[in-house]
Structure 1
C-alpha cells in the first residue's frame, strides 16, 4: 500500500507537469500576469482537492494507510497539517520569488525563456527536497534533540531575513556557478531556449544554464529554512513531501503573477520574519508545551494577513523594504568596523544560545550547558556576560564542593 500511494502521487504529479509543459506551455513565450494568476488559482485548487484525498486516505484508513504511518493521524488532523504546511511553504516561497527575479534581471534572461528555466529548476527542486525531507525525518526520529537545533536554525534564519539584503546578485560568488565555469566554458550570448550550444567546435553552456544553476542553488538555501519549518507542523513524511511539492509546482505561475509587482508588498518580508520566528519557537516548545496545529494555523494566517494588509494600505512603494525590512536602518552596516561587526555577530549568536538554554531548562536537553556556552560566547565581547559567567561558574563550584563534602561524609 505504501508503494502504491507514493507511486500514485508521483505519477499524478508527472501527469500534471506533462500537461503543463507539453500541452499548455509548449511554446517559449512571455506569460502574461492574467494568465499567471489563473494558473496560480488552478494550482491552489488542485492542492485543495488533493487535501480532500488526504482527509479520506487517513480518515477512511484506505488500505490500512493510517496504521502504516508513524503519526497515526485522523483524517481531520492530517488534512489540517497538510493545509498548514502548504500555507507555510507557499508563504516562504514568496521570498524565493524575489531572489529569482533578481537572478533573471542580472543575467538579462528573456521573458520568453524564463518559464523553461523555472520548469527545470522546479523539477530539480522536487528531487532535492525529497532527499532532504527523508533525511531530515530520519534524523529527527533517531535524534529527537535535533528538533531544538532546527528551532534555533529557524530563529537565526528569521534574524538573517530581517537584516540581510537580497537585492544584489553576484553569480561569480556562487559556488555552483564557479564549479560550472571551472569545468565548462560559458558563452556570453543566449541561444533561444537552449542550455548548451557548440561554439568553435566545443560544447559551451549558455547564460540560460547559469540562470538554472542559480535558481537551483537558491532553492537549496531556502529549503534549509522551509523544510525545518514544516517539520514543526508535522513529522509525517508523506504530508511533508506532498505539501512541499504542491507549493513548489505553483511557484512558477506565482512568480509570473507577482514578479512585476513585488514592490507593492513592502511589509510582507517582515511578516515572513515573524512567521519563521514563531515556527522556531513552536519547535523549541514541541516536547512539553506543544502548540496545537489549529492555533498555529490561525497565528500563521494572522501574521500573513497583517503583512499583506499593511502592504496594500501603504501609501508608497519601496522595493528595498522587501529586500530587507530594516534596509534603511541597517544601511550603515556596510561601513562599520570589523570590531563592531564582530560584536554584532557575537551578540546575535550568544543571545540565541542563551535563550535556547533558558527554554531547555524546562524541556529535555542540556539547558545549563547551552546557557554556559551562550554566556561564554557573549563574554568574548561584553562585560556583563563575563560577570554572569563568573557567577555561574562560582555557583557550579560551590555545588561541586557541597557534593564532594557530602560524598566524603557518607
Structure 2
C-alpha cells in the first residue's frame, strides 16, 4: 500500500491535533473525570478509529481494511493490559486522583513517539532481512508464555527495572505540589514525584513495545497501517482508564486471551518466515511450502478470543470477588494516603462502604479467604479509624 506524502502529513496533523485537543480541553485543568465524561470520550475515540478503518477499507481495499482492523483490535487489547500496570504505578506513587490525567497523557504521548521509532526500525529490518520474521515470531511466543505465568512478575509490578533506575538517578521531593514537575524544598529547586512517575510510565511503555510492535507487524507489513492502528489504539487510552477503573481487576482471564493471540500471531509470523525463507541453514535457503494464515482468519480469531475472554471474566465468581477486593483496597488507600483534600473525604469513604457491602454478599468461601488477608483487613480497619478521627475534627461527615 503506497501512501502519498500528503496523506501522511494529514494523518500526522490529525493525530497531533487530537492530542493537543485532549490536553487543552481536558487535562490542563486538573479534575477527576466523571463516568459519563470518560464513557463519552472513549466512545468518540473508538468511533474515530472505526471511521478511519472504513476509510482504509474504501480507499485501500478489503485486505488493507482487514489488516488495519486486526492490528487495531490487537493493539487495543494490549493497551488495556497496559492499564493494569498504569493502575499499579499510579497507586504505588500515590498520585492524586485529579492529577492522574496529566501523567496518563504524558505516557500516551511518549508511547506514541517511542513506538513510531520502533515501527520505522522494524520496517527497515523487515525490508533488509527476511529472517527478522523468525525473531519477531520467537519474541511473541516467549511473551505469550510469560503471560501464562504468575501475574506477580515485574510486568505488573511497581518496582520493575525502569523504576529502580529512575529512583536511583532522579532526586525528588517526598510530596506533590499539585501537578508541578518541580518545586522548591528547603530553598532548593527539586523534582516532584510527578516527574518520577512520568519517567516510570514512559520507561515501562518501552518494555510494552517489545511485544506490541512485533505483534502488529505479524498482521500487516504496511508502515502506514502499523502506525495508524497503533496511534488509534493509544488515543482515548486515558479516558478508557477512568472508564474501566473499576472493571480492570474483573478481567481475570485477559492475560490468557492475550497469550493465545500473541502465540497465534507468533505462529503466523514463523509460517510467513518459512514461506519467504532465505536463511541458508533452513531448507538450504529455499522457501518452505507451508500454509499461511489469512488476515481474515486472523481478525476472526482475535475478535473471537477477546469476546470469550471478556465474557468468561465478567461471569466468573472469582473475578467478581477479585474486583470487590481490589476496589476496597484501592479506595481505602486513597482515603488514607492519596486523597488528602477534604472535598473528596466523604465521596471516597462512601465508595469504600459500598465495596465492603459487596464483599459481605460474596459466597462464604470467598469471604473466608478475604478475612485471611491480614494486610487488607488492617488497611480497612485503619481507614475506619481515620474516618472517625476526621469526623471528630469536622473534616468528614458520619455516613
Query: How does the TM-score come out when normalised to structure 2?
Result: 0.72
SS at match of 2:247: helix
CA distance in 2, matches of 1:171, 1:314: 27
Once the two structures are superposed, the pairs formed by residues 41-190 of structure 1 within 5 Å of their partners are: 41-58=43-60, 75-166=61-152, 174-175=161-162, 177-179=164-166, 181-182=168-169, 184-190=170-176
Where structure 1 has 5 or more consecutive residues not aligned to the other structure, the ranges are: 59-74, 324-410
Q: What are the Cα deviations for residues 352-383 of structure 1, in whole angstroms up to 9, with x where unaligned?
A: xxxxxxxxxxxxxxxxxxxxxxxxxxxxxxxx
Is the CA contact 1:81–1:293 (under 8 Å) kept in the aligned structure 2?
yes
Question: Is the alpha carbon distance of 1:79 and 1:160 closer, same or farther for their aligned partners in structure 2, counting shifts above 3 Å?
Answer: same
Indicate the residue corresponding to 2:17 in structure 1. Answer: 15
Which residue in the other structure is 2:271 paired with? 285
Residue 335 of structure 2 is matched in structure 1 by: none
What is the RMSD computed on CA atoms of the aligned residues?
A: 2.1
Per-residue CA deviation, residues 304-340 of structure 1 (Å, 9 max, x unaligned), is 11101111211233549xx9xxxxxxxxxxxxxxxxx
**Does the CA-based 8 Å contact 2:39-2:243 persist in structure 1?**
yes
Contact kept? 2:166, 2:200, Cα under 8 Å? no
Per the alignment, in what secondary structure is the counterpart of residue 46 of structure 1? helix
Deviation at 1:205, TM superposition (A): 1.4
1:190–1:207 contact (8 Å) kept in structure 2: yes
Cα displacement (A) at 1:273: 1.2
Question: 1:39 maps to which residue?
Answer: 41
1:205 is the counterpart of 2:191: yes
Separation of aligned partners in 2, 1:170 and 1:124 = 20
Deviation at 1:217, TM superposition (A): 1.6
In 1, distance between residues paired with 2:142 and 2:298? 20
Partner of 2:8: 6
3-state SS of paired residue (2:318): coil
Q: Is the 8 A contact 1:172 1:178 kept in 2?
A: no
- 31 and 255 in structure 1: CA distance in 2 versus 1, 3 angstrom threshold: same
CA contact (8 A) 1:115 1:252 kept: yes
1:96, 1:218 within 8 Å by CA — same for their partners in 2? no
**1:259 deviation in Å?**
2.1
Aligned CA distance change for structure 1 residues 172 and 225 (closer, same or farther; 3 Å): closer
For residues 3 and 197 of structure 1, the distance between their equivalents in structure 2, rounded to whole angstroms, comes to: 44
- CA contact 1:193–1:208 (8 Å) conserved in 2: yes
Tell me which moved more, 198-207 or 236-245: 198-207
Query: Structure 1 residues 204, 166: CA separation in 2 closer, same or farther (over 3 Å shift)?
Result: farther
Match of 2:214 in 1: 228
Q: CA offsets per residue over residues 165-219 of structure 1, 9 Å max, x none?
A: 247776665346525642x421100010111223234332111111111111221
Task: Say if 1:146 and 1:311 are closer, same or farther in 2 by CA, change over 3 A.
Answer: same
Question: In the alignment, is the contact (CA less than 8 A) between 2:253 and 2:309 conserved in 1?
Answer: yes
Q: Which residue of 1 aligns with 2:361?
A: none
CA offsets per residue over residues 268-325 of structure 1, 9 Å max, x none? 22111111111111111122422001011111111111101111211233549xx9xx
Segments of 5+ residues of structure 2 without an aligned counterpart are: 276-289, 327-399
Alpha-carbon separation, structure 1, partners of 2:164 and 2:190: 14
CA shift in 2, pair 1:131/1:38, >3 Å = same
Distance 1:165 1:28 in 2: 32
